[in-house]
Amino acid sequence: MTERLEDLATRLGPARMRAVRQGLTIVGLLALPYIIWANRERSLFGFDAHAYWAVDLSNLYGASTGNTSDLDAFRYTPAAGQAFAIFHVIPWELFFALWFAAMIAALIWLTGRTWLLLLAFPPIPLELYHGNIHLFLGVAIVLGFRYPAAWAFLLLTKVSPGVGVLWFAFRGEWRRFAVAVGVTLAIAAVSFAVAPDLWRQYAQTMIDNLDYDPGHAYPIPIPLWIRLVVSVVILWWGARTDRRWTVPVAATLSLPIIWFHGFALLVAAIPLWREDRARARREPAGSQTPSAAPTMAQT
C-alpha cells in the first residue's frame, strides 16, 4: 500500500499533489460549518458529549435501559462514569467548548499539519459535531504502544475496542500486555469497591440491551461477534508483520455499534502508518522491534 501511494504521488507530481491537498483542505474547512447548519433544527450539536457532562451517579444507567441512542444514555463502565461525573460542576456551554477544543487538539496531535485536510473525511466533522470519544480513543491507542496503561481508557469506556491489547500477546510482549490488563483491572477494582451497585446496574443494563431493536438500521449492521473475529485476525496479521496501523483499524471494527462518526477512530492509523514506513526504511527486512508510540515530530 505504501508503494502504491508513493507511486501515485510521483505520477501526479508536486503541483498536482499540492492542488489536491489545498482542495481537500477547503472542503474540510467547509464541512463542519455545513454539518452544523444542515442539522440546525435537530438540536444534536454535542449530543454525545452531553451524556458525559450529564452523568448522574445516583441514576447512571437510567437513560440507557432499553435504548442505545436517547439523549444522555450512558453505556460506559461505572469507572468511566465516576471519572466523568466531575464534568457536571461546570456549565454545559463551558464544558463543550473545552471538550471541542480537546477534540481539535487530539486531531492535530494524531495527524499533524494535515488536520485541516482531514476535515474533508466526513466522519471527522461528524465526530466534532456529536462530541464522542473516538478521537480520544485514537490518542490512547497511539500512546498505548509506549504506555500500555493507556489501554485502560478503551477497556473502561467502549470496552470491545480493547481487543487491541491482543497486539502485545500476538507479539509475545507479555509485560506490556500485563500492564494494560492489570491497570484496567486495578481501576475497575477500586471503582467496584466504591460503588458495587453501579457495576451490577451496568451488567444488567448491558444484558437488557442485547435484544434492543432501535427501529432503524445501524450504519454497519454486522453483529459484534463477527466483527470481533475479523478484528482479531487483523491484529494477528498486523502483529506478525509489524504493521501497527492495523490496531486502530481493528479497534474501529470492534466498536460496540459503528455509527458513521465512529470511523473517525481510523485517523489514529496515520501516525502509526508513518512510523511503520519510516522504520521499514531504517531496518532490514524481516526484523521486528518492540512497540513504541510515534513522537510528535513524526506525526
Write down the pLDDT at residue 77.
96
Q: Which of 24-33, 146-155, 288-297 has the lowest mean pLDDT?
A: 288-297
- C-alpha to C-alpha distance for 268 and 246, rounded to whole angstroms: 10
What confidence category does residue 298 fall into, taking pLDDT thresholds of 50, 70 and 90? very low
Question: Using 50, 70 and 90 to split pLDDT, how confident is the model at 1?
Answer: very low
The answer to which of 3-7, 57-61, 112-116, 248-252 has the lowest mean pLDDT is 3-7
Of 279 and 216, the structure prediction assigns the larger pLDDT to 279
Question: What is the pLDDT at residue 33?
Answer: 65
pLDDT in tens, 227-246: 999 999 999 999 999 999 99
What are 41-83's pLDDT values in tens digits? 556 678 899 999 999 999 898 866 655 566 778 999 999 999 9
- Position 21 scores a pLDDT of 57
| C-alpha–C-alpha distance, residues 185 and 54, integer Å | 26
Can you give the pLDDT at residue 271?
A: 94
Cα–Cα distance between 218 and 54 in angstroms, integer?
Answer: 25
Q: Are 271 and 110 in contact (CB under 8 A)?
A: yes
Q: In the chain, what are the domain boundaries?
A: 2-44+91-298
Cα(230)–Cα(224) distance, integer angstroms: 10
